[in-house]
Amino acid sequence: MSQTIKSAIVGTGFIGPAHLEALRRIPNVEVVALCEVTQELAEAKAKQLGIPHAYTFDEMLKQPEIDVVHICTPNFLHYSQAKAVLEAEKHVICEKPLAVKIDEAEELVKIASATGLVNAVHFNLRYYPMVRQMKTMREKGELGEVYSVMGSYLQDWLYLNTDYNWRLEPDKSGDSRAIADIGSHLLDITEYVTGLKITEVMADFSTVHKTRLKPLKAIETYSGKMLSMEDYAEVPINTEDHATVLLRFDNGSKGSVTVSQVAAGRKNRLNIEISGSKSNFEFNSERPNELWIGKREKANEQLMKDPALFHPEASALISFPGGHNEGFPDTSKQMFKEVYAAVAAGKQPENPSFPTFASGLRELIIGERIVESNKKQAWVKI
């Protein structure tokens, strides 16, 4: 990239600043604008984050110097904002889910294809170097035929009934929570690494907290203080805290995944174990620089992240020598490097290495079938 590419970030929750930090580590990319729901909030956040310009969303779209827009807003806004960005002839990187309805995602895929603009969905967990190493090892025959997959994604940030966030509200987040939020990452990695397609699902959900206590005022106001009971309203919860899903794949093999946002002590633990006819791979995102390789007829192996020991396809995602750990913030940087290379070229590649709007549609379809399966308590085809 010889010419500076200018971008804007929409939304300043947890993930917006994470995008910003990653982009600031990529040469020739400059975040020039930030958007929020009001001009006043945009200006305050832009000053706090050191971004030169602040806009509301509609005003940002009018700025001709902005090349790329990062959508980091609550789920229900993704469709309308992504569509508007494409119609403004700007490249777009959208947080997952791409939309909350399949028909909306299908429309976005069609629009993006027609424009030729670069489009990506932030399935950044693909970009742990070890995840791509597993994929490459499987492609080179080191795993063998896939026998089974076992996965889990566990968190505890909604463990208490006083834990509250907009993701608990279906009108903002959609009909699924744990599956849509973190399960989508796990399911995306499952298909990405194995090269298999999920063909059927059988799901069972549970809502641990049937009601939760919603703060009546912004929690930031009470930073470092205890809330009293009159500061809460009790609200019903209709989305899943925990889900278990059985999987069938197109090669006839089977799998299972469990996701939970109420697993005490598990802060952000994605674990996937793939059993093959030659080896067994196990990866844990809380120990992202290690890969366990299981063997039957010789000693098991522990592969440490080291570009000298990786296949070239995976070492391309490593910025530091062996022994210098890389983690979650690096996944976004590595993904954005690939996306912005496409932006520099001016169009969406024919076979993108990064997750696209089509990838977002795929995960939305799988997620909706999982919700349907839970309701029917039956197997549902994808």
Burial of 220 (0-12, 13-18, 19+ CB in 10 A): exposed
Confidence of residue 3 (pLDDT cuts 50, 70, 90): confident
Question: pLDDT at position 222, please?
Answer: 40
pLDDT at 366 over 70: yes
64-80 per-position pLDDT tens digit: 999 999 999 999 999 99
CB 206 within 8 A of CB 240: yes
Mean pLDDT of the chain: 95
Confidence of residue 196 (pLDDT cuts 50, 70, 90): very high
Closest CA to 262 of 241, 235, 239, 284: 241
Helices (H), 229-356: 312-315, 328-345
294-340 per-position pLDDT tens digit: 999 999 999 999 999 999 999 999 999 999 999 999 999 999 999 99
Per-residue pLDDT, averaged over 198-224, amounts to 83
Burial of 140 (0-12, 13-18, 19+ CB in 10 A): exposed
pLDDT at 136 over 90: yes
What's the pTM? 0.93
103-124 per-position pLDDT tens digit: 999 999 999 999 999 999 999 9
Q: Lowest-pLDDT range, 28-42, 207-221, 233-247, 343-357?
A: 207-221
Question: pLDDT at position 290, please?
Answer: 98
